[in-house]
Amino acid sequence: MAETEAAGELRRIVTEIAREVEANAAEIERAGDAKEEGLAPGPFGIAVATINGDMVLGGAADTPFPLQSIAKVFALELALCAIGDDVFKRVGREPSGDPFNSIVDLERTGGIPRNPFVNAGALAVVDILVESLDDDTQARAVVDFVRHHGQQDEVALNEEVLASEHEGGDLNRAMMSFMRHHGNLRSSLDEVMEAYVKQCAIMLDCEGLARTGLFLARTRRNPQDEEADAVATRMRKLLALMMTCGHYDGSGDFALRVGLPAKSGVGGGILAVVPETAAIAVWSPNLDQHGNSMLGVRALEMLAHRTGWSVFGPPLIG
């Protein structure tokens, strides 16, 4: 089938961005407030999956990476499906202003994490899944979700992430103990950690992540179809949290520069969503001080500018 004019324009833009980011990677990272100085720049990959069925790739889009915190979005979707807005009796909906692994915020809030995307909030969400799902499914619930939505035959898990979380999860266990003290953790710490580590270790490339995240773009409400309307309403809630909390204490800067709901992970990936249009996955391993991919953020900024994609105004293409 012949490519539409809009798809062709998108392909041209993505190809140009990938080429420019790769060519200017060192300069972008020098200006990016790097978390760790002296790392070789790049590589960089990008994939855009549209609701019309197009898939546009650029750069190292076929390089797998661990999802890490991006998987928190999929866990939250499962928790909202399981118990609805009762999720927000267990986790808040506000930006934290603190690092993603801060325990200080839990003291301020009496064991209620500030939002579902800080580590404490993600652990509380996984606790909901462990409590709500049967023993045969809870440990792999997010893995199976990704396999289904990403149309993957199998989903690999990153062995280094599995090992590091199991061996170095003391802070996460401390946060869970603190929440348990306040009555906000109900399952065993080991069960929650097992499920949490598995979702962090999920390996996808940009193409797989964009395809997996495309469900988030379906936000059009339809009051005549109760089930579809409920799904669209839930997607809007997920995107609102991604917009305000998806980049931790860098969320405001990201919203200003890119203007799209997105969730980052320390594996170097970012999943961004254009409602009723597309899901975008970018990846590059070198991170800024907030734990966000420097090349990934810059590429999304360029893409949003050239397409006009933003939740704050109409697009330029499509």
Q: Tell me, what CATH number does 261's domain have? A: 3.40.710.10
Q: Which of 69, 102, 284, 293 is catalytic?
A: 69
Judge whether 52 is annotated as a binding position: no
Residue 171 belongs to a domain: yes
Is there a single domain that holds both residue 122 and residue 38?
A: no
Residue 34 belongs to a domain: yes
Q: Considering 174, 202, 230, which residue would you say is the last residue of a domain?
A: 202
Is there a single domain that holds both residue 73 and residue 53?
A: no
Q: How far apart are CA 217 and CA 85, in angstroms?
A: 20
Q: How far apart are CA 56 and CA 43, in angstroms?
A: 18
Judge whether 24 is annotated as a binding position: no
Whether pLDDT at 68 is above 80:
yes
Element (DSSP H or E) covering residue 204 = strand 203-204
* 146 noted as active-site residue: no
Give the pLDDT score at 185: 97
Whether pLDDT at 2 is above 70:
no
Mean pLDDT of 169-196: 94
Q: How far apart are CA 248 and CA 235, in angstroms?
A: 20
Whether pLDDT at 151 is above 80:
yes
Is there a single domain that holds both residue 19 and residue 89?
A: no
* 72 noted as active-site residue: yes
Is there a single domain that holds both residue 72 and residue 197?
A: yes
Residue 179 belongs to a domain: yes
Vertex 116, ends 115 and 119: CA angle to 5°? 95
* 263 noted as active-site residue: no
The total domain count for the chain is: 2
Is there a single domain that holds both residue 160 and residue 253?
A: no
Whether pLDDT at 97 is above 80:
no
Is there a single domain that holds both residue 28 and residue 125?
A: no
Is there a single domain that holds both residue 170 and residue 287?
A: no
Judge whether 165 is annotated as a binding position: yes
* 69 noted as active-site residue: yes
Judge whether 286 is annotated as a binding position: no
Question: Among 49-63, 75-89, 123-137, 235-249, which is the least confidently predicted range?
Answer: 123-137
Question: Among 6-15, 29-38, 229-238, 278-287, which is the least confidently predicted range?
Answer: 29-38
What one-character-per-residue DSSP string does 36-49 give?
STTPPP---EEEEE
Give the pLDDT score at 133: 87
Q: Considering 171, 202, 233, which residue would you say is the last residue of a domain?
A: 202
* 102 noted as active-site residue: no
Is there a single domain that holds both residue 82 and residue 197?
A: yes
Residue 317 belongs to a domain: no
Q: Which of 126, 142, 196, 282 is catalytic?
A: 196
Q: Which of 96, 142, 143, 248 is catalytic?
A: 248
Residue 314 belongs to a domain: no
Residue 152 belongs to a domain: yes
Q: Which of 72, 126, 258, 282 is catalytic?
A: 72
Judge whether 197 is annotated as a binding position: no
Domain limits for position 17: 5-63+205-307
Residue 315 belongs to a domain: no
Q: Residue 292: name the closest of 310, 267, 274 by CA.
A: 267
Residue 109 belongs to a domain: yes
Judge whether 266 is annotated as a binding position: yes
User: Nearest 5°: phi and psi at 45?
Assistant: -135, 155
Is there a single domain that holds both residue 99 and residue 57?
A: no
